[in-house]
Amino acid sequence: MQTDVANQTSNITVEDDRTGLSIETLKRAFADNLFYIQGKLAILANFTDYYMALSYTTRDRLLQRWLQTLKVYHEQDIKTVYYLSAEFLMGRHLGNSLINLDLYESIAQAVKESGLDLTEILEQEPDPGLGNGGLGRLAACFLDSLATLEIPAMGYGIRYEFGIFNQSIQHGWQVEIPDKWLRCGNPWEVVRYESTVQVKFGGHTEIYNDDRGRPHTRWIPSFTVEGIPHDTPVPGYQTNTVNTLRLWKAEAGEDFNFQAFNSGDYDGAVATKIKSETISKVLYPNDNTPQGRQLRLEQQFFFVSCSLQDIIRRHLKKYGRLDNLPEHAAVQLNDTHPAISIAEMMRLLVDEHGLFWDEAWRITQSTFAYTNHTLMPEALEKWGVPLFESLLPRHLEIIYEINHRFLQDVQTWYPDDEELLARLSIIEENGGKQVRMANLATVGSHAVNGVAALHTELLKQDVLSDFYKLWPEKFNNKTNGVTPRRWVLLANPALSELISEKIGGTWLKHLDELRKLESFVDDSDFRQRWRQIKQANKQKLADYIMAHNCVEVDVNSIFDIQVKRIHEYKRQHLDLLHIIALYLRIKQNPHIQMTPRTFIFGGKAAPGYFMAKLIIKAINAVADVVNRDPDVHGRLKVVFLANFSASLGQLIYPAADLSEQISTAGKEASGTGNMKFTMNGALTIGTLDGANIEIREEVGEENFFLFGLTAAEVEKMKTDGYKPRDYYESNEELRHVLDRLAMGYFSPGDKDLFKPLVDSLLNHDDYMLLADYQAYADCQDKVGEAYKDVEQWTTMSILNVARSGKFSSDRTIKEYCDEIWHVKPVNVELEPYDPAKA
């Protein structure tokens, strides 16, 4: 954008400060924003000021594309994807925006010429943590791929005032600290007050007759809340498309103003205001275990109602009718968190827009699709009928009607099968009545998908098998993916540069092209640089560990890393049992030869999940003993990195030699961290679970460290009667490890501290650690041997990256577009911005 129309009409001979891309203009814009936005003289500015000024400089350059995209979407006849998700773990915006705008190098230069360092400024940005883990980060990767593929798309969610808590470790225990991410303002959002939506709650329903004497149902709510849209731009990589993430903030509705000013009940008015704003206050910090709290259901309905009203309003404005909604809108439900959508859409169509039930149902079913993200039975959402009735009385009626019609159909297809009806019913009748959200989502959608091949098969054969028998054609697989822009280009610039030097830069949009790296696998210069880059990435992580944990680690040791939410099914404690075993081997034989290792953990535990918090304490307790023991002599180090997040991930994945993906087979729906490690040249030690299976298929079994029971073997062992104690008794090393833990060897002040952990393993071991222990330990021995062969390890690392192309979220999104959403790219042509004509 050298000279644009704006410059011509106003006779300015230099670039526009808000769109210009030359180093000189970027420097001037940066200084200008420091002065006029931050209100600071350069000599008095701090790093937050630099970050804010640079963000506004970058945001200005996004806006032209963003508004042009909105204009094209407004004018053209298109179909849009709406991704409804209670979580979006976007990661830091500034670095990503610079990458996607192809501005990174120029801004780095401009900042450097201003006497500053870009990477240091990027670190100032609070990491927006509006999600728990995989599910929320997947939503963010999907938005990146949708924009990059030029698909009209919008993310809808909640603008939590407090995201996932910050984790600090005190005396080895997790301590949760509120995440005040909005404290310094958020330069990435634009508030659209004019699009405020009213959301109703509570009250009762009544029947009334319309002017033609026909009966209808009316909902008389007891409470109204306003949803205020906060929009964040989502730029595609090297494209003009900038899509929108629209997050809703809850504020007091009309009744607040009424109460406050007309009745003089100021206390009541304030209470109303607080209750309203509570809805978008805080993210529930649970991953894979729901909390059946009323506020959580309020959050779900709040963002669903806002989003669907927004979609319908926009559609009606453009087309003036609703029968063609499915031709212009595809709504994806990210797990069951937004599944109340099915009932809310029916209510909006029937009660508010006067459609007949059958027509409304056709529209609903052909608009919605549902993604399931877990097989953990306790993670399937259910809401008690009494709660539903008091909060959403009309929706409960609608759900009963949907269920009645559905079960009538089932009865005609499968007469006299009461048990089948009970299993399929949206209402669970055993115990207190409950609404089964997965059943509601499945009945109300035209497509249901799992997130990896094994997961989808298990859905079909197990969790949703009755539905699969009714509608086999609804079920499909969409193996997850991750965006290589954030997870390789931004996180690992040195590796990216080496790759681009060899195969050109188009791999970032066509990740399969990484295959071309295979022809360099024997190039000794290339191999050496590959190793040097990994070494430098490890050094950066080592520096971070020194700064944060005061532990010195050896960059020549294996960086063996497990970062993910702490959960028993993910088996961080299996990793830990093996670490204890290695330590005991050293204690037994101080001269034992062992490939040096640094074990690195990171991850948050749900605050109410006792066993997960105890696992964190156990890792830190073992770390304390191992890291201080002079007998270990540099062979082992154990580090727990506090507050794992998207931004910490960007430091960690590129530094890994070994990726731990050791969940009990059949429990991890997909995993996505496994893909990030692979793309950054780590080898995987893993079970045949989730997407590990497909990673191994792609990279080749000789380049993957496989161990453990299969999902089928796990199931069989469970039905045959699994006795974990048999493994304890027959395996000497395992017995010593568990005894040390149970005896208090790692918790001298509190000998019984880890008893609950050991007892759970010996008496239940729901996740079969003991059954898999020896296979894991043997496999780790092979890893240790393999690492000694530097050349062989380098080959395996290169081949892992070269064959990771399948795991780009671009591939995943293309499959959703073709097979579920039926949407096509829309080209966005830039028009020069001319303030004189605006």
We find the least distance from the C-beta atom of residue 628 to ligand Z2T, in angstroms, to be 35
Scan residues 347-376 and list those touching ligand Z2T (CB under 6 A): 373-374
Token pair for 302: 């709040």
We find the least distance from the C-beta atom of residue 455 to ligand Z2T, in angstroms, to be 8
Catalytic hit among 57, 58, 672, 684: 672
Residue nearest to ligand Z2T (CB): 134
Catalytic hit among 249, 565, 578, 635: 565
We find the least distance from the C-beta atom of residue 231 to ligand Z2T, in angstroms, to be 24
| Residue 245 in the binding site for ligand Z2T (CB under 6 A) | no
We find the least distance from the C-beta atom of residue 99 to ligand Z2T, in angstroms, to be 23
Q: d(Cα 506, Cα 512) in Å, to the nearest integer?
A: 10
Decide: 143 and 100 in contact? Cβ < 8 Å: no
Scan residues 321-340 and list those touching ligand Z2T (CB under 6 A): 335
Q: d(Cα 516, Cα 528) in Å, to the nearest integer?
A: 18
When binding is defined by CB under 6 A, the residue of 184, 295, 379, 410 that contacts ligand Z2T is 379
When binding is defined by CB under 6 A, the residue of 287, 310, 575, 810 that contacts ligand Z2T is 287
Whichever of 132 and 145 has its CB closer to ligand Z2T, that residue is 132
Q: Which residues contact 430 (CB under 8 A, 6 or more apart)?
A: none
289 is catalytic: no
| Residue 288 in the binding site for ligand Z2T (CB under 6 A) | yes
| Residue 189 in the binding site for ligand Z2T (CB under 6 A) | no
We find the least distance from the C-beta atom of residue 599 to ligand Z2T, in angstroms, to be 22
Query: Which amino acid, residue 394?
Result: R
Segment contacting ligand Z2T by CB under 6 A, of 134-142, 184-192, 211-219, 552-560: 134-142
Whichever of 57 and 132 has its CB closer to ligand Z2T, that residue is 132
| Residue 243 in the binding site for ligand Z2T (CB under 6 A) | no
| Residue 668 in the binding site for ligand Z2T (CB under 6 A) | yes
373 is catalytic: yes
Cα first-last separation, the chain: 18
User: Which of 710, 703, 715 has the alpha carbon at shortest distance from 795?
Assistant: 703
570 is catalytic: yes
Residue 329 gets which letter from DSSP? E
Q: Is the four-CA dihedral 736, 737, 742, 746 of positive or negative sign?
A: positive
Q: Which residues contact 377 (CB under 8 A, 6 or more apart)?
A: 463
Catalytic hit among 373, 455, 538, 635: 373
| Residue 300 in the binding site for ligand Z2T (CB under 6 A) | no
DSSP notation for 791-818: HHHHHHHHHHHHT-GGGBHHHHHHHHII
Decide: 48 and 184 in contact? Cβ < 8 Å: yes
We find the least distance from the C-beta atom of residue 137 to ligand Z2T, in angstroms, to be 8
- HEC string for 560-600: EEEECCCCHHHCHHHHHHHHHHHHHHHHHCCCCCCCCEEEE
| Residue 80 in the binding site for ligand Z2T (CB under 6 A) | no
Task: Kindly tell me the burial class for residue 26, based on how many C-beta atoms sit within 10 Å of its own C-beta (0-12, 13-18, 19 or more).
Answer: buried
Q: How many residues does the chain have?
A: 838
We find the least distance from the C-beta atom of residue 287 to ligand Z2T, in angstroms, to be 4
| Residue 603 in the binding site for ligand Z2T (CB under 6 A) | no
Q: d(Cα 295, Cα 48) in Å, to the nearest integer?
A: 34
Q: d(Cα 547, Cα 562) in Å, to the nearest integer?
A: 20
User: Which of 668, 592, 673 has the alpha carbon at shortest distance from 632?
Assistant: 592
| Residue 813 in the binding site for ligand Z2T (CB under 6 A) | no
Segment contacting ligand Z2T by CB under 6 A, of 140-148, 338-346, 664-672, 726-734: 664-672
* CA–CA distances in Å: residue 806 to residues 517, 675, 800, 814: 15, 10, 11, 12
628 is catalytic: no
Token pair for 549: 């944990």
* CA–CA distances in Å: residue 274 to residues 250, 280, 319, 391, 680: 10, 11, 38, 18, 46
| Residue 451 in the binding site for ligand Z2T (CB under 6 A) | yes
We find the least distance from the C-beta atom of residue 507 to ligand Z2T, in angstroms, to be 23
When binding is defined by CB under 6 A, the residue of 26, 81, 138, 447 that contacts ligand Z2T is 138
Whichever of 125 and 668 has its CB closer to ligand Z2T, that residue is 668
Quote the distance between the C-alpha of residue 114 and its chain's center.
Answer: 36
Strands (E), 718-767: none
| Residue 572 in the binding site for ligand Z2T (CB under 6 A) | no
Per-residue mark of binding to ligand Z2T, 114-133 (x: CB under 6 A): ------------------xx
We find the least distance from the C-beta atom of residue 138 to ligand Z2T, in angstroms, to be 4
* CA–CA distances in Å: residue 128 to residues 94, 566, 645: 11, 20, 9
637 is catalytic: no
Catalytic hit among 571, 676, 696, 803: 676
| Residue 775 in the binding site for ligand Z2T (CB under 6 A) | no
| Residue 568 in the binding site for ligand Z2T (CB under 6 A) | no
When binding is defined by CB under 6 A, the residue of 272, 276, 480, 760 that contacts ligand Z2T is 480
- HEC string for 2-23: CCCHHHHHHCCCCCCCCCCCCH
User: Which of 120, 130, 640 has the alpha carbon at shortest distance from 334?
Assistant: 130
| Residue 253 in the binding site for ligand Z2T (CB under 6 A) | no
We find the least distance from the C-beta atom of residue 746 to ligand Z2T, in angstroms, to be 29
DSSP notation for 98-153: HHHTT-HHHHHHHHHHTT--HHHHHTTS----BS-SHHHHHHHHHHHHHHHTT--E
Whichever of 187 and 671 has its CB closer to ligand Z2T, that residue is 671
Q: How many residues bind ligand Z2T (CB under 6 A)?
A: 19
Whichever of 231 and 335 has its CB closer to ligand Z2T, that residue is 335
Catalytic hit among 564, 567, 571, 806: 564
We find the least distance from the C-beta atom of residue 670 to ligand Z2T, in angstroms, to be 4
Decide: 646 and 92 in contact? Cβ < 8 Å: yes
Catalytic hit among 230, 570, 578, 613: 570
When binding is defined by CB under 6 A, the residue of 681, 686, 690, 805 that contacts ligand Z2T is 690
| Residue 135 in the binding site for ligand Z2T (CB under 6 A) | yes
Q: Cite the active site residues.
A: 373, 564-565, 570, 672, 676
Catalog residues that contact ligand Z2T under the rule CB under 6 A: 132-135, 138, 287-288, 335, 373-374, 379, 451, 480, 668-672, 690
